[in-house]
Amino acid sequence: MKYRILAAPLLTAFTVVFFFACGNSKEEASKMPGKAVFDNYNCAQCHGAQGEGSKLAPAIDKLGEHFTKAQLIEYLKNPMEYAKQDPRLNEQKKGYPSMMPNYEFIGEEKLSDLADYLLKAYE
């Protein structure tokens, strides 16, 4: 009996802690200017609304382990060229029917905002 009474508040407490532990950087990142760039250029169309990935593109995740900001900008400008010198990307892209588009045309300022956003939301 005692345990049952404890179960509900404990579960609530765990859920709250879990939510904050996982949700914080995305929550903060959603206020950054690069979020609008992500939305305007339909990155979610291939990568999913939360960057979770789809049949068309891999999940966007742990970018900080793979890219500095400068490298990420370079990648976004010309992904296919960049992938040639990165064995992980070169292997990964074989698994998808579509290609990661080239975003050089959006300009340095938006690329910079986008990279800041991506590195925060998908650190």
Q: Which residues here bind ligand HEC, judged by CB under 6 A?
A: 38, 41-43, 45-47, 56-58, 60, 63, 66, 79, 83, 89, 92-93, 96, 98-101, 103, 114, 118
For ligand HEC, the closer of residues 21 and 102 by Cβ is 102
Shortest Cβ 8–ligand HEC spacing (Å)? 40
CB 114 within 8 A of CB 37: yes
Q: Which residue, 53, 58, 28, is CA-closest to 121?
A: 28
For ligand HEC, the closer of residues 9 and 97 by Cβ is 97
Shortest Cβ 63–ligand HEC spacing (Å)? 6
Dist. CA 123–CA 99, nearest whole Å: 23
